[in-house]
């Protein structure tokens, strides 16, 4: 957001106030203060600039993208030959599975997040156990409850399936060798290259936000009043934008919002506390030899991340783009609807929060109308879920 | 009748926790344990005691919203549990207790019925410490010779000492203050002790931060460690926390490490006559 755009938006706001308001004037039916406008403009512009991932030498490579697409939907990278990445990340469900907790080879503990816009993450997974998209793509293949493969089994499959081996050669310029780990890392990088292409589109909110930036009263008026009222709560009394910041509506970090984190009776999901231990010791982290970022400039966060007591039970703040299309919610899918999420914050159980840990969180005590407004705003963060179409390159057999 | 899921909880808590302490490990006095009503529901008292023993705790200063949880633990393990009376009937009282007129009679009733070594952990900040309820709590502590376990800012701690200059105060989380501020308070008040619960910066990755090392060295008799089990899930963290504490304490001279680990707690509460 440039200063000029903010000035222009504030000028538009002043213009709006200077006009003669009437009940029929939708532009003024819900007016925002200069402070609110500045906060709203901070949630754009969208989409962000596309950048390749320096840690992945095939990021943005067309052959890698096609290879990753093929692997993403193929079940042969699972121990029983029945599970693909797309089982939990289904294009028709906005790349989630609609389940509270996903089921691979066996039931898991967590809700499958969408992989759309995943390229913008700093940390991956609800616990941030990975610091890059290719490592995060390797994780489910090797998780016994998800796809259940070993590194040797993944590498063998790549070597033995002609299409996989052909695409590997085309993408990496050599045949898959005998170094299993190297093959696994390359598979992760191809999968990441494909997922980097999954970007969410423009939303009604983006149209409103940009209209506000350029002072387009007609376009501002088209944004529903209920959404405007909800947005005011979001950036105002609710302070939702403290954690759901920026164009992607997330600060990318981890918080405890008072959700119970028993994975099962008698078993706790440690959340970020465990994730930090994992990412620091992972052979696939950005500090390790598999990163293609020779300068390790992408590894600063990993180098400095430290485990603290407060991390126990913290989970990643999700993006809110397309949030209405990705129910159920929270790390364990324990909250069924968007209205339930809003109710959670409205009636927040402070007893579950450490006095010092999450000072921002207080019960919002919203009226039913206010809760509905907040939901109406969140629903404008959807891009209409465009239909995913397989690419020609991904569909054709490699020869 | 213990619910099946509660039994599963402890079985798992014990099985899946990090390695249990051994006899060779440094004993730990955990000065900040809660066993509130929601924890009691999922972790039966005998199983809670088992968790504390697995952690290698020599003693645990336990306070509970509702107090019943504390009493259940004391009944089972009087050698291990040092009971503290928390002025909360439910944890929701955390923000209302200072003005709740029904609270003091409840405290007096509890004090008449059971033995305690402290009152707390309670939360009070700034001028609220001058309200009638906090004043009365200080009086009750004086009358019954109890330690005050206060989660407070500097201002409130100063006010508590003004109410009773001879009070003994255990400063929860050391007020989340920086080492310099903690040092200033310790220099001003001979009867102030500090717990380090829910803070990590003094001993991250098994290394003691230089500013904290200096403070521990200047005041070797005033610090103790604590888990702060403020949700039921945090009982799954007691063992790991004890081991985490041992790791950074190992970076200190043995005598200093032992004092912070357990001797300071023993010295403070061993001097408190159990009622």
Mean pLDDT, range A269-296, rounded to an integer: 97
CA distances from B223 to B59, B261, B265 (A): 15, 8, 8
* Inter-chain residue contact B198 with A310, CB threshold 8 Å: yes
3-state secondary structure chain A: CCHHHHHHHHHHHHHHHHCCCCCCCHHHHCCCCHHHHHHHHCCCCCCCCCCCCCCCCCCCCHHHHHHHHHHHCCHHHCCCCCCCHHHHCEHHHCCECCCCCCECCCECCCCCCCCCCHHHCCCECCCCCECCHHHHHHHHHHCCCCCCCCHHHHHHHHHHCHHHHHHHHHHHCCCCCCCHHHHHHHHHHHHHHHHCCCCCCCCHHHHHHHHHHHCCHHHHHHCCHHHHHHHHHHHCCCCHHHCCCCCCCCCCCEECCCCCCEEECCEECCEHHHHHHHHHHCCCCCCCCCCCCCCCHHHHHHHHCCCCHHHCCEEECCCCCCHHHCCCECCCCCECCHHHHHHHHHCCCHHHCCCCCCCCCCCCCCCHHHHHHHHHHHHCCCCCCCCCCCCHHHHCCCC
* Inter-chain residue contact A267 with B12, CB threshold 8 Å: yes
* Inter-chain residue contact A266 with B10, CB threshold 8 Å: yes
Q: Which of A154, A175, A199 is the last residue of a domain?
A: A199
The C-alpha of B118 sits at a distance from chain A's nearest C-alpha, in angstroms, of 21
Could you give the CA distance from residue B135 to residue A304 in angstroms, rounded to a whole number?
A: 44
Phi-psi region of A332 (alpha: psi -120 to 50; beta: other; left: phi over 0): alpha
* Residue B3 host element (H or E): none
Phi and psi of B225, rounded to 5°? -100, 165
Residue A343 and residue A396 share a domain: yes
B-chain residues near A267 (CB < 8 A): 12, 16
Residue A143 and residue A82 share a domain: yes
Residue A301 lies in a domain: no
Could you give the CA distance from residue A170 to residue A64 in angstroms, rounded to a whole number?
A: 8
pLDDT in tens, chain B (275 residues): 334 444 444 444 444 445 666 656 899 999 999 999 989 999 999 999 999 999 999 999 999 999 999 999 999 999 999 999 999 998 788 889 999 999 999 999 999 999 999 999 999 999 999 999 999 999 999 999 999 999 999 999 999 999 999 999 999 999 999 999 999 999 999 999 999 999 999 999 999 999 999 999 999 999 999 999 999 999 999 999 999 999 999 999 999 999 999 999 999 998 444 44
DSSP code of residue B107: H
Could you give the CA distance from residue A367 to residue B58 in angstroms, rounded to a whole number?
A: 50
* Inter-chain residue contact B205 with A351, CB threshold 8 Å: no
CATH number, domain with residue A24: 1.10.760.10
B-chain residues near A262 (CB < 8 A): 9, 42, 232-233
Q: Which of A177, A199, A221 is the last residue of a domain?
A: A199
Residue A181 lies in a domain: yes
pLDDT computed for residue A335 by the predictor = 97
Q: Is the model more confident about B62 or about A24?
A: B62
Which residues on neighbouring strands pair with residue B59, listed in sequence order?
B29
* Chain A residue with minimum CA distance to B93: A351
Could you give the CA distance from residue B246 to residue B257 in angstroms, rounded to a whole number?
A: 8
The C-alpha of A181 sits at a distance from chain B's nearest C-alpha, in angstroms, of 29
B-chain residues near A268 (CB < 8 A): 13, 233, 236
Residue A379 and residue A237 share a domain: yes
B-chain residues near A352 (CB < 8 A): 231
Domain boundaries, chain B: 27-270
Two structure tokens written together for A346? 């409205």
Residue A98 and residue A34 share a domain: no
Q: Of B9, B16, B228, which is closest to A265 when you measure between CB atoms?
A: B9
Phi and psi of A204, rounded to 5°? -55, -35
* Chain A residue with minimum CA distance to B124: A355
Could you give the CA distance from residue A106 to residue A124 in angstroms, rounded to a whole number?
A: 22
Q: Which of A268, A352, A362 to mutate to test the interface with B (most CBs of B within 10 A)?
A: A268
pLDDT at A27 over 90: no
pLDDT computed for residue A398 by the predictor = 84
pLDDT computed for residue A351 by the predictor = 76
Q: What is the largest CA-CA distance in chain A?
A: 75
Residue A357 and residue A253 share a domain: yes
Mean pLDDT estimate for chain A: 92
Residue A325 and residue A251 share a domain: yes
* Inter-chain residue contact B234 with A262, CB threshold 8 Å: no
pLDDT at A157 over 80: yes
Residue A173 lies in a domain: yes
Q: What is the CATH number of domain B27-270?
A: 3.20.20.140
* Inter-chain residue contact B198 with A262, CB threshold 8 Å: no
Two structure tokens written together for A122? 């700093």
The C-alpha of A265 sits at a distance from chain B's nearest C-alpha, in angstroms, of 5
Domain count, chain A: 2
Instruction: pLDDT band for A14, please (50, 70, 90 cuts).
Output: very low
CB atoms within 10 A of CB A97: 19
* Inter-chain residue contact B237 with A350, CB threshold 8 Å: no
B-chain residues near A306 (CB < 8 A): 200, 204-205
Q: Strands A254-255, B81-85: parallel, antiparallel or unpaired by DSSP?
A: unpaired
pLDDT 10s digits, A38-90: 999 999 999 999 999 999 999 999 999 999 999 999 999 999 999 999 999 99
Q: Which residues of A232-247 are buried (b: 16+ CB within 10 A; e: fewer)?
A: bbbbeebbbbebbbbb
Could you give the CA distance from residue A349 to residue A334 in angstroms, rounded to a whole number?
A: 15
Q: Which of A175, A199, A223 is the last residue of a domain?
A: A199
Residue A222 and residue A83 share a domain: no
B-chain residues near A357 (CB < 8 A): 198
Interface residue ranges in chain B relative to chain A, Cβ cutoff 8 Å = 4-13, 16, 38, 42, 65, 90-92, 94-95, 123, 151, 173, 176, 198-201, 204-205, 228, 230-234, 236-237, 241
Residue A283 lies in a domain: no
The C-alpha of B272 sits at a distance from chain A's nearest C-alpha, in angstroms, of 28
Residue A221 and residue A93 share a domain: no
Residue A298 lies in a domain: no
* Inter-chain residue contact B205 with A260, CB threshold 8 Å: no
* Inter-chain residue contact B173 with A351, CB threshold 8 Å: no
Q: Is B131 exposed, middle or buried (0-12, 13-18, 19+ CB in 10 A)?
A: middle
A-chain residues near B241 (CB < 8 A): 309
The C-alpha of A122 sits at a distance from chain B's nearest C-alpha, in angstroms, of 23
Interface residue ranges in chain A relative to chain B, Cβ cutoff 8 Å = 260-262, 264-268, 270, 306-310, 312-313, 350-352, 354-357
* Chain B residue with minimum CA distance to A268: B233
Q: Count how many Cα atoms sit within 13 Å of the Cα of residue B247 in the half-sphere of its side chain.
A: 13
pLDDT 10s digits, A78-129: 999 999 999 999 999 999 999 999 999 999 999 999 999 999 999 999 999 9
A-chain residues near B65 (CB < 8 A): 351
The C-alpha of B203 sits at a distance from chain A's nearest C-alpha, in angstroms, of 10
* Inter-chain residue contact B9 with A309, CB threshold 8 Å: no
Phi and psi of B169, rounded to 5°? -120, 130
pLDDT computed for residue A29 by the predictor = 57
Domain that holds residue A128: 62-199
pLDDT computed for residue A170 by the predictor = 97
Phi and psi of B62, rounded to 5°? -115, 130
* Inter-chain residue contact A309 with B231, CB threshold 8 Å: no
Could you give the CA distance from residue A71 to residue B249 in angstroms, rounded to a whole number?
A: 49
Smallest Cα–Cα separation from A34: which of A76, A6, A74? A6
Residue A174 lies in a domain: yes
Residue A227 and residue A89 share a domain: no
Residue A178 and residue A108 share a domain: yes
* Chain B residue with minimum CA distance to A267: B12
């Amino acid at each position: 957001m440039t200063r000029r755009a903010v000035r222009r938006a504030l000028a538009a706001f002043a213009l709006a106030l200077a006009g003669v308001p009437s009940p029929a004037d939708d532009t003024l039916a819900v007016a925002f203060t200069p402070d609110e406008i500045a906060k709203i403009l901070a949630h754009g512009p969208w989409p962000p600039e596309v950048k390749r991932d320096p840690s992945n030498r095939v990021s943005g490579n067309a052959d890698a993208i096609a290879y990753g697409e093929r692997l993403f939907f193929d079940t042969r990278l699972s121990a029983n030959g029945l599970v693909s990445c797309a089982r939990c990340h289904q294009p028709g469900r906005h790349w989630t599975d609609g389940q509270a907790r996903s089921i691979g080879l066996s039931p898991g503990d967590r809700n499958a997040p969408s992989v759309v816009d995943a390229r913008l993450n700093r940390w991956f997974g609800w616990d941030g156990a990975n610091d890059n998209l290719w490592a995060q793509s390797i994780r489910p293949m090797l998780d016994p409850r998800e796809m259940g493969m070993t590194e040797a089994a993944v590498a063998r499959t790549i070597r033995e399936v002609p299409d996989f081996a052909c695409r590997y050669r085309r993408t990496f310029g050599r045949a898959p060798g005998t170094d299993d780990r190297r093959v696994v890392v390359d598979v992760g990088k191809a999968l990441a290259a494909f997922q980097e292409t999954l970007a969410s589109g423009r939303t009604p909110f983006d149209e409103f936000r940009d209209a506000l930036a350029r002072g387009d009263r007609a376009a501002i008026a088209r944004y529903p009043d209920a959404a405007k009222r909800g947005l005011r709560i979001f950036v105002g009394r609710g302070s939702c934008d403290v954690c759901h910041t920026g164009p992607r509506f997330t600060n990318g970090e981890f918080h405890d919002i008072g959700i119970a984190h028993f994975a099962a009776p008698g078993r706790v999901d440690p959340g970020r506390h465990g994730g930090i231990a994992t990412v620091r010791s992972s052979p696939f982290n950005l500090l390790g030899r598999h990163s293609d970022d020779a300068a390790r400039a992408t590894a600063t966060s990993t180098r400095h991340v430290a485990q603290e007591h407060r991390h126990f039970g913290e989970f990643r703040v999700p993006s809110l783009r397309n949030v209405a299309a990705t129910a159920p919610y929270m790390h364990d899918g324990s909250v069924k609807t968007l209205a339930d999420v809003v109710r959670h914050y409205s009636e927040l159980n402070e007893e579950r929060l450490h006095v010092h840990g999450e000072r921002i969180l207080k019960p919002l005590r919203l009226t039913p109308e206010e809760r509905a407004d907040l939901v109406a705003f969140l629903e404008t963060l959807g891009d209409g879920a465009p239909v995913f179409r397989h690419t020609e390159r991904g569909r054709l057999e490699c020869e | 009748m213990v619910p099946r899921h509660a039994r599963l909880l402890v079985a798992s808590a014990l099985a899946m926790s990090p390695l249990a302490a051994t006899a060779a490990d440094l004993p730990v006095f955990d000065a900040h344990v809660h066993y509130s009503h929601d924890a009691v529901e999922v972790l039966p008292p005998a199983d809670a005691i088992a968790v504390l023993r697995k952690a290698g705790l020599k003693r645990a200063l336990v306070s509970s919203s509702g107090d019943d949880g504390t009493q259940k633990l004391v009944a089972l393990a009087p050698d291990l549990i040092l009971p503290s009376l928390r002025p909360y009937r439910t944890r929701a009282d955390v923000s209302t207790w200072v003005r709740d007129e029904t609270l003091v009679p409840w405290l007096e009733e509890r004090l008449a019925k059971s033995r305690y070594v402290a009152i707390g952990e309670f939360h009070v900040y700034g001028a609220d410490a001058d309200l009638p309820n906090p004043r009365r709590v200080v009086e009750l502590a004086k009358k019954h010779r109890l330690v005050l376990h206060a989660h407070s800012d500097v201002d409130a701690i100063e006010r508590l000492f003004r109410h009773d200059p001879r009070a003994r105060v255990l400063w929860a989380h050391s007020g989340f203050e920086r080492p310099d501020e903690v040092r200033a308070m310790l220099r001003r008040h001979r009867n102030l002790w500090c717990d380090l619960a829910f803070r990590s910066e003094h001993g991250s990755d098994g290394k003691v931060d230089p500013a904290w090392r200096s403070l521990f060295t200047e005041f070797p008799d005033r610090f103790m460690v604590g888990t702060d089990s403020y949700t039921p899930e945090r009982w799954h963290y007691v063992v790991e926390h004890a081991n985490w504490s041992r790791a950074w304490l190992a970076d200190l001279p043995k005598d200093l490490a032992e004092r912070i680990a357990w001797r300071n707690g023993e010295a403070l509460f061993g001097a408190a006559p159990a009622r």
